[in-house]
Amino acid sequence: MNAKEQLADFSAFLSEDAIVEQAKEYGVEDKRKRKLAVVSFFWLMVLSAAEATPRGCLSKLVTIFCATFPLIPRGRVTRLSRMAISKKLSGTSWMFFRGVYNRLLKCYLNALEPDDRLLLARFKDCFAVDGSIIRLNKAIEKIFKSTAKAQAALKMNTKFSIVNLAVTKLQVTEGKRHDSKFRFITKAPNILYLFDLGYWSFSRFKKIADAKSFFVSRLKKSCDPLIVAVSDPKWAHLAGKRLSQIMYALKDMKELDVRVQLAKSKNSQFKTELRLVGILHEGEWRFYVTNLFDALFTPKVIYELYSKRWTIEIFFNDIKHILKLSHIFAKSKNGIMVQIYSALIFYLLVRIMTAAAAESTNKKITDFSFKKGVETLAVFFVRQLSELIRGTKKELIAFFQKVTSAIAWNCLKTPTRATA
């Protein structure tokens, strides 16, 4: 699918008629003349995600809406007020915004061409899983409890596709909820999961293996696995010992590659053999557990695969600091979720435009700066807000083509200079 065809498909989901139909589906359509129509509210909320100033209070959102008031077509907004915006924020179901996001996401994933970076092409997809905390207004502490007293915070548990650079599953919970309760494993086979120790669980390892998928996780410090087999005959005598008992042998190694059993108890139901690999990095051993036994995945490759998990940390930085989601001012759960999905929709729109720019210039998505992409889309957004709100599919295609061209020419990352 070429870039023009991709943009046509996305535009079909975002035209005025399409948004009105989706609003009806979620019961948030305009049933009478309103101060702020649902289509205008949708686009203004998405636009607010790209504002340069932190959205730390309702007054800043009101300022954004009022500043763009002259750009909104007549009849779409009769009057703006703090109360009207507040009611719309709490009264428009966040599931409407999630529905728009999911439709765009499905179209985006179907449009992307397979990527052969490293060995990721051997998997159907590769997901990094992690959570991130966002502070909230204290008034909502009873709903979103924080680990600290007299504070409110939420946790965004996120399943992020490293291949496609997009959130495929999001679960918003109270800040004090443990990561281990996030369910992210699907029945689809040949998926690679990368996660940190917050998601360490024997039952989770088993579920991934039963689904014929794969994982890489750091080794938990309290876990002392039993070595059952060694790939290098030179170290065959290490079999039958636990990791803590072979530290002397590691002095003569730079890599470790063995089969292990994790459970210490003989009565444990988790008796699956896994692979333990170790890499000596800057004088310190780093150990990883995986069910990848393919010889192509050497300890060094396993280490490099796990390092890809850092992509989700970059996403959290982008969504919280570039799209200013680090502070959420809403005092209702619905308002909070609307703000989150507004930011995710803007994030995905930037990815969509960047993917189209990459396809038209024969480059990779990662060759482009996300921050520059945000700035570019925001400028076009403000200048052509009227066209977006009353946009037909044809008008939206023209709009997205302009943004795509601008990203292609202006948003490439600055080449890194080679050091002597």
215-246: pLDDT as tens digits = 999 999 999 999 999 988 888 889 999 999 99
pLDDT score for 215: 97
Q: Is residue 145 situated within a structural domain?
A: no
Query: Could you tell me the residue range of the domain that residue 14 belongs to?
Result: 3-110+340-410
The confidence band for 419, taking pLDDT boundaries of 50, 70 and 90, is very low
The confidence band for 75, taking pLDDT boundaries of 50, 70 and 90, is low
Whether 301 and 316 have beta carbons less than 8 Å apart is answered as no
Strand partners, 156: 132, 172
Q: What average pLDDT does this structure show over 159-165?
A: 93
d(CA 217, CA 200): 8
Q: Is the pTM of this model over 0.85?
A: yes
Please, what is the average pLDDT of the chain? 86
Number of domains in the chain: 1
User: CA angle, 327 as apex, 412 and 345 as ends, to 5°?
Assistant: 50
The confidence band for 269, taking pLDDT boundaries of 50, 70 and 90, is low
Q: What average pLDDT does this structure show over 369-376?
A: 95
Q: Is residue 383 situated within a structural domain?
A: yes
Q: Is residue 301 situated within a structural domain?
A: no
Instruction: Give 248 or 293, the one with higher predicted confidence.
Output: 293
Give the E-state strand segments of 137-187 in sequence order: 152-161, 166-174
Q: Is residue 14 situated within a structural domain?
A: yes
pLDDT score for 150: 64
pLDDT score for 420: 41
Is the pLDDT reported for residue 251 higher than 80?
Answer: yes
Whether 66 and 383 have beta carbons less than 8 Å apart is answered as no
Q: Is residue 117 situated within a structural domain?
A: no
Q: Is residue 286 situated within a structural domain?
A: no
DSSP-derived secondary structure letter, 253: -
Q: For the ranges 22-26, 72-76, 149-153, 401-405, which has the lowest average pLDDT?
A: 72-76
Is the pLDDT reported for residue 74 higher than 80?
Answer: no
Is the pLDDT reported for residue 93 higher than 80?
Answer: yes
The 3-class secondary structure across 307-361, one letter per residue, is HCCHHHHHHHHHHHHHCCCCECCCCCHHHHHHHHHHHHHHHHHHHHHHHHHHHHH
Q: What average pLDDT does this structure show over 152-169?
A: 93
Q: Is residue 170 situated within a structural domain?
A: no
DSSP three-state, residue 413: coil
Q: Is residue 328 situated within a structural domain?
A: no
Q: Which amino acid type is present at position 205? A: F
Whether 152 and 136 have beta carbons less than 8 Å apart is answered as yes
Q: What average pLDDT does this structure show over 62-80?
A: 68
Q: For the ranges 199-203, 387-391, 399-403, which has the lowest average pLDDT?
A: 387-391
Q: Give the DSSP H or E segment for 96.
A: helix 94-111
Note the pLDDT tens digit of each residue in 315-343: 999 999 898 888 777 778 898 899 899 99
* Beta-carbon count within 10 A of 25 CB: 12
Whether 388 and 381 have beta carbons less than 8 Å apart is answered as yes
pLDDT score for 118: 53
